[in-house]
Amino acid sequence: MAYKVPDLPYPYDALEPHISEETMRFHHDKHHQAYVDKANAALAGTEWEDVRPKEILTRLNELPDELRDVVRNNAGGQYNHCMFWRSMSPDGGGEPEGKLAHAIKDTFDTFARFKETLTAAALSVFGSGWAWLAFDGKRVFIVTTTNQDNPVSDGLTPLLGLDVWEHAYYLTYENRRPDYIEAFFNVIDWDAVAEGFAEAPRPDVSDILDRPVSISGVQKRYGDVSYDDAKTQAAELKALTGWGPMAKVGTVARAWTALSVTLERHDAATVTDLEPSEVAQMAEELWIIPPARSMV
Ligand SMILES: [Fe+2]
């Protein structure tokens, strides 16, 4: 099944004045089409012709030497641009909400810092390439790639890609890449980015969520622990601090306080609503699962 350039999910002029109609026509109809044509020509008649671009990008080392570069560049061009069109919207801009917003704040502290960091990364790309918000199953962060490489080749989930090839902005912004980057923030479709984040692979922590914990002598599932439960448990353990036979009690009491803070900061009703990586890390600190390394 040959690759195809998908129709834009909005009219060519919909992203004006931030991304011009002329830029979109050239970028989508000419540049993206060229990647697709070259990828199809390279893959036709090979055992790879029915493999999806994303999968090809995770198996580049298996490609025959004579195909690797041309496929890497052009299957990459297809995968990156399909994602790029979907990540923009005439109703875009603003800031993300929900779990994606929390993940961005966990890494960057504020949305403004995230914007600064992505901008700096996009400006740092020498020549042609992309700046990405990516996710490793635990946290979000920013990476850059050259040419049409994609973070998926390094085992990461790309959430948002910013195309900083000159073909993405030169018709309007000429050599003013910073102005184009600023404009891009006005059209980012954060709902689409959040969908990708929700679907990204994460560690399976279902067995950890099912572990029993005792809150004020009442047994519950760790996954059902709420903010109030964590506060209660922290207060009870704090009262026992210094009692000889329970040398670790102060540390564990602080971990229950930390859990209550995390639940509150992430607007999470229970532990189940937290990111799986946090569920696992907090479980270690609470001694619900044995710590990976000694706390001494
Ligand atoms: Fe592009």
How do residues 215-272 score in pLDDT, each as one tens digit? 988 999 999 999 999 999 999 988 887 766 666 778 888 999 999 999 999 999 999 9
Distance 14 CA to ligand 1 centre (A): 18
Q: Which residue has the tokens 């949305």?
A: 111
In angstroms and rounded to an integer, the radius of gyration of the C-alpha atoms of the chain is 24
Distance 148 CA to ligand 1 centre (A): 8
Collapse the DSSP code of 11 into the 3-class scheme (helix H, G, I; strand E, B; otherwise coil) and give the result. coil
Rounded to the nearest angstrom, the distance between the alpha carbon of 140 and the centre of ligand 1 is 23
Task: Say if residue 126 is exposed, middle or buried (CB neighbours under 10 Å; 0-12, 13-18, 19+).
Answer: exposed
The pLDDT of residue 156 is: 97
Q: Report the separation in Å between the CA atom of 124 and the middle of ligand 1, taken as the mean of its atom positions.
A: 17
Please give the C-alpha separations between residue 134 and each of 156, 194, 201, in angstroms, as whole numbers: 6, 12, 12
> What is the Å distance from ligand 1's center to 169 Cα?
9
User: What percent of the chain is modeled with pLDDT above 70?
Assistant: 96
Helix (H, G, I), strand (E, B) or coil at 195: helix
Give the whole-angstrom CA distance, residue 149 versus residue 224.
42
CA distance 80 to 215: 48
* Residue ranges of the chain whose pLDDT lies below 70: 243-247, 291-296
State the number of CA atoms in the 13 A half-sphere of 155 facing the CB: 4
In the reported structure, the alpha carbon of residue 167 is separated from the centroid of ligand 1 by a whole-number distance in angstroms of 6
pLDDT at 239: 84
Give the pLDDT of residue 296.
46
pLDDT of residue 122: 98
What is the whole-number distance in angstroms between the Cα of residue 35 and the centre of ligand 1?
Answer: 10
* Ligand 1 centroid, distance to 138 Cα (angstroms): 29
Residue type, 263: L
The overall pTM is greater than 0.85: yes
Measured CA to CA, the distance from residue 231 to residue 215 in angstroms comes to 10
What spacing in Å lies between the alpha carbon of 26 and ligand 1's midpoint? Answer: 10
| pLDDT for position 249 | 79
Ligand 1 midpoint to CA 128 (Å): 9
Helices (H), the chain: 21-24, 33-43, 53-58, 65-86, 98-108, 111-124, 170-173, 177-184, 190-199, 206-209, 227-240, 249-265, 276-285
pLDDT score recorded for residue 247: 63
Q: Which two tokens stand for residue 260?
A: 């209550």
- Taking the centre of ligand 1 as the mean of its atom positions, its distance from the CA of residue 174, in whole angstroms, is 15
DSSP 46: S
CA distances in angstroms from 14 to 10, 90, 165, 195, listed in the order given:
6, 6, 21, 22
**CA 210 to centroid of ligand 1, rounded, Å:** 46
